[in-house]
């Protein structure tokens, strides 16, 4: 089962998306905040943007009505850009990522992966639709024939493209590339450079804190999604967020680094094979601790019995959201103890 099909059908999963670099360690210092490449725009003139698929969108003016998948809508909001429509893979009204923003005037046109009310979205009169695209393999191959992330199928995508042009951010490869791609788009859509710079300061401080904490920690973190079929263990080098945090010193469970792309998959019968982590980060869209405790082959997991389990959501691709994500992981590492040998 590929990462794309699993994410699409099982609710996006952890993210575990997200990912970023830059900041205070040498492996991430190569990134800059250059937002000029791939975009030519002004508030009063023609607008041109080339997305991560190589598609160039040309409009008469900078987009003001923006429809966006929830993962990217949250990032835009953090930079002061309010979408006119949001579609998500879970109930947007209860999505904690939007709790600090006013979206009372934003149309919610989808609350489940691939289910988008096309009529309601069209009624929001978007100038542009924002979503993402995940590579299909470790080499970074992009499937440009299949649907982009968040869409049910190519037919739905074709219908959306009749409403407004679609731009996609690649969620793969270097975390620095992901962050820079998002920043370029946010700037092109009107985000203040001062606002981004302020968030970068918050982000850099979180990078420093996580680096220092991870460097003095001997804990192993297991990041996973679980459902009735078994456990999907994220491959840290293949998920941009975990790849970045690994660069900062976090140790993730990585039992089969050269195996299939993105996931190590375990049925409940062989779930004991991956019981190596001291901390469990559980996708918010999968089983949580109480449900895991009901699985006979997992009930005695050391981290589970020690209470070192944490619901883990998808962070947006902006500095502020990633700073919050890193700060939370820093706190988790500080309050946890070694429970595996």
> Over the stretch 186-219, which tens digit does the pLDDT of each residue have?
999 999 999 999 999 999 999 999 999 999 999 9
- 150/200 Cα distance (integer angstroms): 27
Of 3 and 143, the structure prediction assigns the larger pLDDT to: 143
pLDDT beyond 90 at 54: yes
CB-based contacts of 329-333 (< 8 A; 24+ apart in sequence): 329/210, 329/221, 329/245, 329/250, 330/206, 330/209, 330/210, 330/213, 330/214, 332/279, 332/281, 333/213, 333/214, 333/217, 333/219, 333/221, 333/250, 333/279
Residue 299 in tokens: 């009930």
Q: Which fold has domain 3-193?
A: Rossmann fold (3.40.50)
Strands (E), the chain: 39-40, 47-50, 56-59, 66-69, 85-88, 107-111, 128-133, 166-170, 220-227, 230-234, 251-252, 263-266, 279-283, 309-312
Of 24 and 152, the structure prediction assigns the larger pLDDT to: 152
pLDDT-derived band at 4, boundaries 50, 70, 90: very low
Q: Of the segments 2-16, 81-95, 171-185, which one has the largest average pLDDT value?
A: 81-95
* CATH 3.40.50.1980 holds for 203-335: yes
Q: Minimal CA–CA distance to 303: which of 292, 295, 312, 313?
A: 292
Determine phi and psi for 233, rounding to 5 degrees.
-95, 120
Give the residue-averaged pLDDT of 146-167: 97
pLDDT-derived band at 175, boundaries 50, 70, 90: confident
- 267/331 Cα distance (integer angstroms): 31
Which has the minimum average pLDDT: 11-15, 137-141, 162-166? 11-15
pLDDT beyond 60 at 114: yes
pLDDT confidence of residue 277: 97
Determine phi and psi for 37, rounding to 5 degrees.
-65, 145
Examine domains 3-193 and 203-335 and report if their fold is the same: yes
pLDDT confidence of residue 133: 96
**Domain residue ranges of the chain, discontinuous segments joined by +:** 3-193, 203-335
pLDDT-derived band at 36, boundaries 50, 70, 90: very low
- 255/128 Cα distance (integer angstroms): 41
pLDDT confidence of residue 43: 59
Mean predicted lDDT score pLDDT of the chain:
88
Residue 174 in tokens: 């270097």
Give the residue-averaged pLDDT of 313-330: 93
Read off the pTM: 0.87
pLDDT beyond 90 at 81: yes
- 276/302 Cα distance (integer angstroms): 8
Give the residue-averaged pLDDT of 74-93: 96
Q: Minimal CA–CA distance to 94: which of 70, 117, 78?
A: 70
């Amino acid at each position: 089962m590929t990462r794309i099909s699993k994410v699409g059908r099982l609710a996006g999963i952890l993210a575990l998306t997200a990912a970023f670099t830059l900041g205070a360690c040498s492996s991430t210092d190569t990134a800059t905040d250059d937002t000029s490449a791939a975009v030519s725009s002004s508030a009063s003139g023609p607008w041109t943007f080339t997305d991560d698929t190589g598609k160039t969108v040309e409009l008469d003016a900078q987009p003001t009505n923006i429809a966006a998948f929830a993962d990217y809508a949250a990032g835009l909001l953090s930079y002061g850009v309010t979408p006119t429509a949001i579609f998500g893979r879970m109930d947007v009204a209860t999505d904690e990522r939007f709790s600090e923003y006013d979206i009372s005037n934003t149309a919610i046109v989808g609350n489940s992966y691939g289910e988008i009310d096309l009529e309601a979205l069209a009624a929001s009169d978007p100038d542009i639709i924002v979503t993402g695209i995940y590579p299909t393999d470790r080499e970074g191959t992009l499937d440009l024939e299949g649907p982009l992330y968040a869409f049910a199928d190519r037919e739905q995508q074709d219908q959306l493209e009749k409403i407004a042009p679609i731009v996609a951010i690649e969620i793969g490869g270097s975390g620095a590339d992901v962050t820079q791609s998002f920043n370029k788009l946010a700037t092109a859509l009107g985000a203040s450079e001062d606002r981004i710079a302020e968030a970068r300061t918050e982000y850099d401080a979180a990078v420093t804190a996580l680096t220092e904490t991870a460097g003095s920690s001997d804990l192993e973190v297991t990041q996973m999604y679980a459902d009735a079929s078994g456990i999907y263990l994220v491959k840290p080098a293949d998920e941009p967020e975990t790849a970045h945090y690994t660069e900062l010193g976090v140790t993730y469970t990585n039992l089969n680094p050269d195996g299939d792309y993105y996931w190590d998959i375990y049925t409940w019968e062989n779930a004991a094979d991956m019981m190596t982590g001291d901390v469990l980060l559980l996708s918010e869209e999968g089983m949580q601790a109480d449900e895991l405790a009901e699985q006979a082959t997992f009930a005695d997991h050391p981290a589970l019995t020690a209470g070192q389990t944490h619901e883990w959501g998808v962070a947006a691709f902006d500095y502020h959201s990633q700073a919050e994500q890193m700060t939370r992981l820093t706190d988790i590492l500080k309050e946890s103890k070694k429970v595996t040998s």
